[in-house]
Amino acid sequence: MRWLFFWLLLATTPGFPPASAQDNIVQEFSGSGSTTTGLFKVQDRWEVRWNARQAVSVAVMSADGTIVAGAAGVLRGSLFVPLGGRYYLKISDGTVAAPAPPAAATDSPPGNTNAPPAAGAEASPFGTPTPRVTVPPAAATDSSSPPPPEPVVSWHLQVVQLGTSVASDQALTVYTPFFMVPDAAVAPVAPPPNLPPPVLTNEQVRAVVTIKGNNAQGSGFLMRSPDGACSIVTHLHLLAANPNVKIFTSSGAPITTLALKGAVDRDLALFTIQDDHYSYLPAPTDAANSIEAGDPVIIPDIGEQTDVLLGKPGRVIGVGPERIDFDNAMGPGSGGAPVIHVKSGKVLALVTAGKRVDVSDVLAQAWPANPAPGSARITPYFGLRLGGVQGWETYDWSRFLAETLFLKQFHHDTRCLDSYLNGRRHWARSDGADNGPPDNRYFLDNVKLRKATDTYKQLANEADRNQRLDADRELLFDLEDVADTGMSTLQGMNNLYAFDRIWAQEEMAYRKALKQELDDLSNNIVRLDNIARSR
């Protein structure tokens, strides 16, 4: 009678509720007893729904064997999971028990374990069959005997991808089981072994190169493209306005370069070189599809070291069309290092230092290990991707050097003028680096501004009000002359390389803002006089 009751109850219980127009059934499983399904892939916001004769336990397992969630219920139930990924299910009930195997050999593996399915295993709609034992035939058999009955299906499950209308933190969405058990009630699996952190190989260490010029020094790395081409990857800004650039291996041997190319959409330079049996990093073939957030990466920690390079392991925290963000806490001098994918051994990106940002900024919070306690600003590091570049320009080195030397001088003049007009509210960085905000004495580096200052002192010294106004007007004329320096030349440079064009646009905007400030001072000569006297 008890079995009849359960059969009647199951037969009269409505089936799965109809899925909404946005829901999608990804996989279905039917079976009895304890079962481990194959792997399946789902997006965010999905759930498991089941019908069962008796109490059934369902555990959602990640691909590495970690328990994500678990629940149990009588007859019907569901379990919501907010995050997508690759999972498999462990199902168990008490309706069917596998017979105990005799001493003879069996034609199936031992009973179910907590291990994840074998790599490449596909989900079957019937789950993993209950183990059966092969028994040697008796001496005589009755051919009229009926075949053994098929196992009775005691549960049925659906993996359902929910529509976007379901919130990612929503609880059970279909119906509540008659009772729930905590995750701890599901038989846990052994945690994955604690593998040692990745380390750099000798070949990866030897792939790092040093780049030296008259005005700057930095790093890059040797890379071999899928087509076999040998090259060096570094930053364009390291080569800009830097005469007499030379490149050396990690052992100090010079490298002969053949040609230079620059990316049109990011700060990447690519030297083709003469091969001399160097150690190369393999370039990625399809980084867009093979790299995901959470993937382990290792980066050589260049810093101030010259004789040995240590690797800093970390993980990818974001992949964009032009950059890869990671959680490795890189120190000063790490720009130009390769971001190496641990699993494939391929180089993904070139380490780049961003502009200093406030710790409270969202960008800064992506590097939790980077800010020093109590620091107000940090320099975040990320990687410029080597794949997906919109195009490469072939560079003439002489032309590139001339353009960047002009732009560097143009920026220097602009910064000097900014120092004169706004030096009282700008201060140099505490470490003395020359790329900090201009302080109130930086303007003395400009010959015209230094001469204008001396002229004002001569005209305004012990002068009456009218004479001082004349001195202010003369000063304004001199300042406007500084603001116009190089403007016509920059406006006539219409065929700049892409890297120089972006730089020129930034410099033009900077200079125009100061010219507007001078126009405002022409209508407020008293304020200009206050600035001049403070200088």
HSE toward the beta carbon, residue 525, CA cutoff 13 A: 12
Q: Quick check: is 439 in a domain?
A: yes
Q: Quick check: is 75 in a domain?
A: yes
Q: What mean pLDDT is predicted for residues 112-134?
A: 47
pLDDT at residue 99 greater than cutoff 70: no
Q: Are residues 385 and 410 in the same domain?
A: no
- Alpha-carbon span 361 to 364, nearest angstrom: 5
Quick: pLDDT tens for 475-491: 999 999 999 999 999 99
What pLDDT is stored for residue 186 in this prediction?
Answer: 47
Least confidently predicted of 131-135, 176-180, 316-320, 463-467: 131-135
Q: Tell me the torsion sign for CA atoms 350, 351, 355, 357.
A: positive
pLDDT at residue 336 greater than cutoff 80: yes
Structure tokens belonging to residue 446: 């400009």
- Alpha-carbon span 239 to 269, nearest angstrom: 8
- Domain final residue pick, 355, 377, 394: 394
pLDDT at residue 367 greater than cutoff 50: no
pLDDT at residue 272 greater than cutoff 70: yes
- Residue range(s) defining the domain that contains residue 508: 397-534
- Alpha-carbon span 304 to 301, nearest angstrom: 9
Structure tokens belonging to residue 482: 């500084």
Q: How confident is the model at residue 358 (pLDDT cuts 50, 70, 90)?
A: low
Q: Are residues 278 and 380 in the same domain?
A: yes
- How many independent structural domains does the chain possess? 3
Residue 22 exposed, middle or buried by CB count within 10 Å (0-12, 13-18, 19+): exposed
3-class secondary-structure state, position 123: coil
What pLDDT is stored for residue 220 in this prediction?
Answer: 97
Q: What element of type H or E holds 476?
A: helix 465-484
- Domain final residue pick, 330, 359, 394: 394
Q: Are residues 307 and 321 in the same domain?
A: yes
User: Bigger pLDDT: 19 or 281?
Assistant: 281
The 3 state secondary structure assigned to 513-530 is HHHHHHHHHHCCHHHHHH
What pLDDT is stored for residue 183 in this prediction?
Answer: 47
**Is the CB of residue 482 less than 8 Å from the CB of residue 446?**
yes
- Alpha-carbon span 109 to 129, nearest angstrom: 11
Q: Quick check: is 145 in a domain?
A: no
CATH number at residue 287: 2.40.10.120
What pLDDT is stored for residue 341 in this prediction?
Answer: 94
What pLDDT is stored for residue 369 in this prediction?
Answer: 45
User: In this structure, how many other beta carbons lie within 10 angstroms of the beta carbon of residue 167?
Assistant: 11
Q: Quick check: is 196 in a domain?
A: no
Return phi, psi of residue 462, to 5°: 55, 35
What pLDDT is stored for residue 152 in this prediction?
Answer: 60
Q: Quick check: is 144 in a domain?
A: no
Beta strands at 155-161 and 208-212: parallel, antiparallel or unpaired: unpaired
Q: How confident is the model at residue 296 (pLDDT cuts 50, 70, 90)?
A: very high
Q: Which residues does residue 347 pair with via DSSP β-bridges, in sequence order?
A: 340
Q: What mean pLDDT is predicted for residues 295-319?
A: 82
Q: What element of type H or E holds 203?
A: helix 202-206
Q: How confident is the model at residue 188 (pLDDT cuts 50, 70, 90)?
A: low
Q: Are residues 30 and 159 in the same domain?
A: yes
What pLDDT is stored for residue 452 in this prediction?
Answer: 93
Q: Are residues 84 and 120 in the same domain?
A: yes
Q: Are residues 348 and 433 in the same domain?
A: no
User: Bigger pLDDT: 56 or 178?
Assistant: 56
Q: How confident is the model at residue 121 (pLDDT cuts 50, 70, 90)?
A: low
User: Bigger pLDDT: 380 or 358?
Assistant: 380
Share of residues in the chain with pLDDT > 70 (%): 69
Q: Are residues 297 and 377 in the same domain?
A: yes
Q: Are residues 427 and 377 in the same domain?
A: no
Q: Are residues 386 and 258 in the same domain?
A: yes
What pLDDT is stored for residue 425 in this prediction?
Answer: 46
Q: Quick check: is 137 in a domain?
A: no
3-class secondary-structure state, position 71: strand
- Domain final residue pick, 361, 394, 427: 394
Instruction: Give exposure, 198-235, as e/b (b: 16+ Cβ within 10 Å).
Output: bebeeebbbbbbbbebeeeebbbbbbbeeeeebbbbbb
User: Using the 8-state DSSP alphabet, how is residue 402 labeled?
Assistant: H
User: Bigger pLDDT: 407 or 148?
Assistant: 407
Quick: pLDDT tens for 204-244: 999 999 999 999 999 999 999 988 899 999 999 999 999 99
CA angle 15, 20, 22 (to 5 degrees): 140
Q: Are residues 407 and 522 in the same domain?
A: yes
pLDDT at residue 153 greater than cutoff 70: no
**Is the CB of residue 33 less than 8 Å from the CB of residue 92?**
yes
Q: Quick check: is 56 in a domain?
A: yes
Q: Are residues 379 and 435 in the same domain?
A: no
Please, what is the end-to-end C-alpha distance for the chain in angstroms? Answer: 103
Return phi, psi of residue 42, to 5°: -135, 160
Quick: pLDDT tens for 443-487: 889 999 999 999 999 988 888 888 888 899 999 999 999 999 999
Q: Quick check: is 340 in a domain?
A: yes
* Range ranked top by mean pLDDT from 60-74, 256-270, 298-312, 364-378: 256-270
What pLDDT is stored for residue 181 in this prediction?
Answer: 42
Structure tokens belonging to residue 321: 């069309």
Q: Are residues 389 and 421 in the same domain?
A: no
